[in-house]
Amino acid sequence: MSLSVASASIFLRKYASSQVDKRKAGRLAMAIQVAFQELGVFQTSNTKVPLQDDDAMPFQKVQVIENMERKADLAKIVNPMKGTLTSAAEAQSLQQAEAAIEQALHPEIKRREVTMSMRREGLVVSLKEMGFFGSGSSAVRPDSLDAISRLAGVLKQRRENLRIEGHTDDIPIHNLHFASNWELSTTRATEMIRILVTQYGLPASHLSAAGYGEFHPVASNKTAEGRAQNRRLDIVILTPFQGAIDNPTPSTPEIGRAPGPTVSPQTLP
């Protein structure tokens, strides 16, 4: 008889323990579900669930639980997340930058001397050669300095890193200053960096330069209009991940001398 009582006692303890485990598993599953809803992965639900500890909540039934008496909100199971996802915050920040630049460069955008596009690496602000550089030259046109000043005023308020990219069409160049489109595109990029740092005080540690020559066209090089679109200087406002720089220590270049940006010509495909 005592053996039967002992066996029953062991069974009851194991049963009670299993019920507690089920409740813990159910609560954990529900907490995970609510967390994913907060992240936007699952569709937000108005489902309310009982919180009584004597109610088992099997994991496999979490998605279909419905409490008609509305005893507790899902938010009471786990604390709501504060703020927004990093990617969403980044996208909103770049959209704000786009709106500010659109307002600052409205005349140039209207004349199609400036275009903007949102890409995976960030916001791309394209300065067309026809509005900012002389043909075959890396010198910024004097009548474009006002536009650059307005653009710099917006960029200076940003915390993102910037990559300045020089691009050309596919017509070979060979003059007294440049032996190839590589040299022209890279020199235009570094010249813009020099202006932004020395004249407008942008931090040199947030800037890098790249010369892509004719190898990243945005239009066909078979037409004059397409080639004009390809001759451009892109200022890319990088997302934080894309814009990571190994050495963030600020540096102050000497006035009148170009800073030391990272020049990274694109290799031929």
What was the pLDDT predicted at 149?
Answer: 98
C-alpha 221/C-alpha 130 separation (Å) is 16
Amino acid identity for residue 46 in this structure: N
Quick one: DSSP state of residue 267? P
What was the pLDDT predicted at 64?
Answer: 42
Q: Which two tokens stand for residue 162?
A: 């910037």
Contact (Cβ atoms closer than 8 angstroms) between residue 212 and residue 163: no
- In whole angstroms, what separates CA 241 from the centre of its chain? 7
131 and 214 inside one domain: yes
Is position 128 within any domain?
Answer: yes
224 and 97 inside one domain: yes
CATH number of the CATH domain containing 193: 3.30.1330.60
115 and 224 inside one domain: yes
Is position 258 within any domain?
Answer: no
Between CA 49 and CA 56, with CA 54 as vertex, the angle to 5 degrees is 60
**Residue in this structure with the two tokens 């003059």, named with its chain if needed:** 175
93 and 216 inside one domain: yes
Among the candidates 41, 76, 111, a domain finishes at 76
- CB count in 10 Å sphere of residue 202: 19
Is position 161 within any domain?
Answer: yes
Q: Which domain holds residue 123?
A: 86-238
152 and 230 inside one domain: yes
Residues of the chain short of pLDDT 50, as ranges, are 1, 44-45, 47-51, 53, 55-57, 59-86, 243-269
229 and 149 inside one domain: yes
Is position 257 within any domain?
Answer: no
User: pTM for the whole thing?
Assistant: 0.60
Among the candidates 76, 110, 141, a domain finishes at 76
164 and 31 inside one domain: no
What was the pLDDT predicted at 88?
Answer: 76
What was the pLDDT predicted at 77?
Answer: 42
Residues 6+ apart with CB under 8 A from 225: 219
Among the candidates 76, 105, 126, a domain finishes at 76
C-alpha 219/C-alpha 168 separation (Å) is 11
Contact (Cβ atoms closer than 8 angstroms) between residue 231 and residue 168: yes
- Strands of the sheet with 162-167, listed across from one edge: 114-119, 122-128, 232-238, 162-167, 207-211
C-alpha 23/C-alpha 52 separation (Å) is 10
119 and 12 inside one domain: no
Is position 136 within any domain?
Answer: yes
114 and 233 inside one domain: yes
Is position 108 within any domain?
Answer: yes
110 and 194 inside one domain: yes
Tally of structural domains, the chain: 2
What's the pLDDT tens digit per position in 54-88? 544 454 444 444 444 444 444 444 444 444 334 67
125 and 164 inside one domain: yes
What was the pLDDT predicted at 11?
Answer: 57
Contact (Cβ atoms closer than 8 angstroms) between residue 31 and residue 78: yes
Residues 6+ apart with CB under 8 A from 107: 147
188 and 65 inside one domain: no
- Distances in Å between the Cα of 226 and the Cα atoms of 11, 35, 220, 240, 260 are 81, 49, 5, 32, 33
